[in-house]
Structure 1
Amino acid sequence: MSSLAHSRSYADSHIFHRSLRKKPANIVSGQGITFTLSSGRTIIDASAGPAVSCLGHNQPTVIEAVTRQMQQISYVYSMGYTSSSAEELASLLLSQKPGGLAKAIFVNSGSEATDAALKLVSQYWIEMGQSQRTKFIARKQSYHGNTLGALSVSGHASRRAYYEPWMSHNVSFVDPCYAYRGKADGESDVEYALRLRTQLEDEILRLGPDTVAAFVAETVPGTTIGCVPAVPGYFVAVREVCDKYGILLILDEIMCGMGKTGTMHAWEQEDIRGPDIQTIGKALGGGFVPLSGVLATQNVFDAVSNNSGTLSHGHTFQAHPTACAAAVEVQHIIGRDNLLKNVVVMGSLLQQSLEESLGSLPHVGDIRGRGLFWAVEFMRRPSTGDPFDKHAGYSNRVVEVSQDLGLNILGTLGDTGEYHVEHVILSPPYIVKAEEVAEIVRLLKTAIQLVDQELDHVEQQVEQHVRPSL
């Protein structure tokens, strides 16, 4: 589209939209797992936005909770003040001290949570008298947020590209645990996990163990490589290496956590005691009001409390009472309706349906995930491990065709690094029903088949064009 055409298509909007290639559709209402466009079309929200709307759209009791809070007090400044809703949410999440996590910081976006976690680590080591620990290790093809701090520990190539001059130089990267593309021929899961453990430990030794502050990882990576659970034993090895050298472990569960994989915390399925610091968001408040958080162990809290006594970080809208009230009700609904069980049951059905319906399609390479957090990775030739070209746009075309059919899913978000990953993500709300799972998979299969037909047509035209005349 020409720049003039772009300008005309946005002439009636004063919003600087994220994508300027196509005018965004206007959502006017939502109900259950669907939303309705201004055109009157209804779309199944099979990804819950970017894995946010865990309770779907339009929950009356959340509206009531928000209204009650606003009738009492809408805003509380977190410097010197607190609110009942913020205290209740923290207690709801941490009263049982999962994995030793005992204290919460509530902010707005996931990116803010990452920045807060990084700054908390830095302050922790200063309070502990080890100010030389300033280096962070993260993973390639990871994504932790879009602020400059969060991008600095993100291994997302295209999202970092414009801002490389601003990226921190105290961050280094190791490989992700991505068995489908990362395992060597003939390598077992045990051998693969051991190789990644050795790589992490070698990087710590290269940097100097007493200079490393933390290792940062998504428990189940989301948009960069698509819902990839670690091989068994990987996080056990990571936890052991961090403990060996006294390094803090930060687990990012902004996208994969708060029930999405079938347990409240994704790390609960990794046979570890938990992280030292965890970031949460998205499903924390279900998208009703922006909210994310940082969870920290008692040891991390004590380092600050027993020394300076001040958290050297804060936001105007930190622990916003209205957002916390919404999240309290979201978490109450999840517990009241036993929705984590539904995540497990419907997740198993989704896995089975995806494998049975899509497994034999010519460009489907891998189907993976946990709970209600699943991805389908596409390859040019799955049998030979030949990926699509970076400019092919296969998965984005699947997303476009799916939307035309009435299905909202997530696709590949740019160039994420060494492995070009063409995938789509399905992360339906926790309230999804069996018949809705069937319809989601049916529509996705239809979309993939239509894109395959387009691809076949293009290739036939190219073949005819280059074939020498007789």
Structure 2
Amino acid sequence: MLPPAAIINDGNVVFDSEHHIEHSNSVIKSTSKSSVLHRSLRSDPLRVVQASGNYIELSNGQRILDATGGAAVACLGHGNKRVKQAIVQQMNEVSYCHSLFFASSAAELLAEELISSTNGHMARAFIVSSGSEAMEAAMKLARQYYTELSPPQLQRTKFIARKESYHGTTLGALSMSGHVGRRALFEPTLLHNISRVAACNAYRGKRPDERDDQYVARLAQELDGEFRRVGPDTVCAFVAEPVVGAALGCVPPVPGYFAAMRAVCDKYGALLILDEVMCGMGRTGTLHAWQSPLIGVAPDIQTIGKGLGGGYTPVAGVLANHRVVDALRRNSGAFSHGQTYQGHPIACRAAFEVQRCIREDGLVANVGRMGALMERLLRERLEVHPHVGDIRGKGLFWGIEFVRDKRSKQPFDPKEGVAMSIHELGMQRPYNISLYPGSGSADGTSGDHILLAPAFNVSESDVELIVDLTARVIGDFFDKKGKRC
């Protein structure tokens, strides 16, 4: 069991476990000797000394199977030679130029690649350094769109998002998020112009006697009611993740959900912003998650990240459709937002090469094939486990939710730190596997889950090994937990 300091695992902080902490007269002593402000100040993380393919080698001699790509980032695995060569080539051309004065061929190549991949739905790409920055830019772009209309709709200052969501760690992006644990410490400083409706989470939200279409109709009615409650002509956009990542653990929508949400947005003249930072760029089986028939609608504004650059450089972006871009072009002719490192040449060149690898090697198709295998094996190995409540996901993006009681879906007490403990067990010998933990999937505070998000180029044997190790970690964890209890 984790100590009181580790009650909340917000996914951004890795809290110390009991064996990492020395206690003396109830005072916690730090074993950290680092000058880095690590996510924990009490002990230093193990250092990575080498990474190649699906494996990370640590300073203690362990070789860890990276089954999550970090945070669903390393979509090509580690050490890709093509990407490394592209980065060097770009450095020989130009490493940095200020986007206020200059353009770079790398930024143009990446933007062209991204826009063409949307089959004409999107018009321009805005490249930044992180998913949080992308969401900040998307919020500002949505607001500016309404000020550029003729006549301008200056009263539109509000956003509607969803509960149990996560859109970034900066104050604006965190304000958009509904993740209770990640918001808690900063709640007094967050924006007050954002409200939330229920997420589309069939496992937790759909009634036992409810059909999918009835569930969708109920959620659409809730969104419609929220528009009317806050003032339908005051809302800039509805914001949602097509497949919810860290906050809920890879929860896909039920069929027809996003079409219904789009209809409500259109009814009141609001934009639809889809946050694909974690679930996009091939992760769920189509390059853009909204291109899946399960989603079925194109957004007005889209955020992308993680799989965009595969972790080779810090890079993320915003895609805007013709409706938004044309409004700015007709009026001010500019997006009133800029950052020092936007369109960074090295970041763009690395991301462009990652996207070329994905396209030329047919990796999105491989995501679909290996994702189907992963789903089948996970269900075979874990669906009957008494503490596995739900297995859900899409492509190579799978979540496993844990419950104390399978029939009632009762979650574990957050104080037990189940998801983080499973992650920590997996990191130990003989398992040597990285599993991504999360919490709050039941009600924003309670509810434990882990994510699996391996590289897009995994093989059948890779998937079999990942599922085998994951099942063994989960089985052994609950066996030991049962004996302790």
Match of 1:31 in 2: 52
Instruction: Quote the offset at 1:427 in angstroms.
Output: 0.3
Instruction: Quote the offset at 1:99 in angstroms.
Output: 6.1
In structure 2, the CA distance between the partners of 1:249 and 1:171, relative to structure 1 (3 Å rule), is same
Match of 2:377 in 1: 353
Instruction: Quote the offset at 1:389 in angstroms.
Output: 1.4
Q: Which AA in structure 2 matches 1:280?
A: I
Q: Which AA in structure 1 matches 2:380?
A: E
| Equivalences for residues 92-171 of structure 1 within 5 A | 92-95=113-116, 97-98=118-119, 100-128=121-149, 129-171=152-194
| Equivalences for residues 386-401 of structure 1 within 5 A | 386-401=410-425
Match of 1:462 in 2: none
* Distance of 1:306 and 1:115 partners within structure 2: 23
Aligned mate of 2:215, from 174, 183, 192: 192
CA contact (8 A) 2:30 2:42 kept: no
CA contact (8 A) 1:390 1:415 kept: no
CA contact (8 A) 1:124 1:304 kept: yes
Match of 2:39 in 1: 18
2:270 is the counterpart of 1:247: yes
Match of 1:217 in 2: 240
Q: Which AA in structure 2 matches 1:41?
A: Q
Q: Could you list the per-position Cα deviations for residues 228-251 of structure 1 after superposition, in whole angstroms to 9, with x for gaps in the alignment?
A: 000011001001111111100000
Match of 1:9 in 2: 31
State the SS of the aligned residue for 2:390. Answer: strand
* Distance of 1:169 and 1:438 partners within structure 2: 47
* Distance of 1:157 and 1:21 partners within structure 2: 24
In structure 2, the CA distance between the partners of 1:96 and 1:381, relative to structure 1 (3 Å rule), is closer
CA contact (8 A) 1:286 1:327 kept: yes
CA contact (8 A) 2:253 2:295 kept: no
Match of 2:103 in 1: 82
Instruction: Quote the offset at 1:2 in angstroms.
Output: 5.1
Q: Which AA in structure 1 matches 2:125?
A: A
Q: Could you list the per-position Cα deviations for residues 270-301 of structure 1 after superposition, in whole angstroms to 9, with x for gaps in the alignment?
A: 35340000000000000000000000001111
Aligned mate of 2:437, from 411, 424, 428: 411
In structure 2, the CA distance between the partners of 1:423 and 1:271, relative to structure 1 (3 Å rule), is closer
Instruction: Quote the offset at 1:154 in angstroms.
Output: 0.2
In structure 2, the CA distance between the partners of 1:224 and 1:302, relative to structure 1 (3 Å rule), is same
Q: Could you list the per-position Cα deviations for residues 364-385 of structure 1 after superposition, in whole angstroms to 9, with x for gaps in the alignment?
A: 1110100000011111011222
**For the aligned residues, what is the CA RMSD?**
1.6
Aligned mate of 1:325, from 341, 349, 368: 349
2:78 is the counterpart of 1:52: no
CA contact (8 A) 1:53 1:283 kept: yes
Match of 1:463 in 2: none
* Distance of 1:289 and 1:229 partners within structure 2: 28
2:97 is the counterpart of 1:71: no
CA contact (8 A) 1:143 1:151 kept: yes
* Distance of 1:21 and 1:452 partners within structure 2: 27
State the SS of the aligned residue for 2:254. Answer: coil
* Distance of 1:425 and 1:311 partners within structure 2: 36
The list of structure 1 runs, each at least 4 consecutive aligned residues, that deviate by more than 2 angstroms after superposition, is 1-8, 19-23, 95-99, 270-273, 413-421
2:329 is the counterpart of 1:308: no
Q: Which AA in structure 1 matches 2:266?
A: D
* Distance of 2:201 and 2:425 partners within structure 1: 28
Instruction: Quote the offset at 1:95 in angstroms.
Output: 2.5
In structure 2, the CA distance between the partners of 1:266 and 1:96, relative to structure 1 (3 Å rule), is closer
* Distance of 1:240 and 1:167 partners within structure 2: 29
Instruction: Quote the offset at 1:7 in angstroms.
Output: 5.3
2:481 is the counterpart of 1:458: no
Once structures 1 and 2 are overlaid, which stretch shifts more, 180-189 or 107-116?
A: 180-189
State the SS of the aligned residue for 2:359. Answer: helix
Instruction: Quote the offset at 1:418 in angstroms.
Output: 4.0
Match of 1:272 in 2: 296
* Distance of 2:260 and 2:359 partners within structure 1: 32
CA contact (8 A) 1:62 1:326 kept: yes
* Distance of 2:259 and 2:28 partners within structure 1: 50
Instruction: Quote the offset at 1:21 in angstroms.
Output: 5.5
Q: Could you list the per-position Cα deviations for residues 38-61 of structure 1 after superposition, in whole angstroms to 9, with x for gaps in the alignment?
A: 122111000000000000000111
Instruction: Quote the offset at 1:419 in angstroms.
Output: 6.2
CA contact (8 A) 2:49 2:59 kept: yes
* Distance of 2:84 and 2:478 partners within structure 1: 43
Match of 2:471 in 1: 445
State the SS of the aligned residue for 2:255. Answer: coil
Q: Which AA in structure 2 matches 1:45?
A: D
* Distance of 2:29 and 2:272 partners within structure 1: 46
* Distance of 2:54 and 2:225 partners within structure 1: 46
2:304 is the counterpart of 1:283: no
* Distance of 1:6 and 1:391 partners within structure 2: 18
Once structures 1 and 2 are overlaid, which stretch shifts more, 17-26 or 204-213?
A: 17-26
State the SS of the aligned residue for 2:196. Answer: strand
* Distance of 2:250 and 2:118 partners within structure 1: 27
CA contact (8 A) 1:65 1:326 kept: yes
Q: Could you list the per-position Cα deviations for residues 214-264 of structure 1 after superposition, in whole angstroms to 9, with x for gaps in the alignment?
A: 000011000111000000110010011111111000000000000001100
* Distance of 1:388 and 1:335 partners within structure 2: 42
2:62 is the counterpart of 1:41: yes
Q: Could you list the per-position Cα deviations for residues 60-112 of structure 1 after superposition, in whole angstroms to 9, with x for gaps in the alignment?
A: 11111000100011001111311001000000111254361110100001000
Q: Which AA in structure 2 matches 1:87?
A: E
Identity over the aligned pairs, expressed in percent? 49
* Distance of 1:3 and 1:298 partners within structure 2: 59
CA contact (8 A) 1:388 1:422 kept: yes
Aligned length: 458
* Distance of 1:341 and 1:206 partners within structure 2: 43
* Distance of 1:10 and 1:418 partners within structure 2: 31
CA contact (8 A) 1:158 1:416 kept: no
* Distance of 1:392 and 1:187 partners within structure 2: 33
* Distance of 1:152 and 1:211 partners within structure 2: 17
In structure 2, the CA distance between the partners of 1:186 and 1:416, relative to structure 1 (3 Å rule), is closer
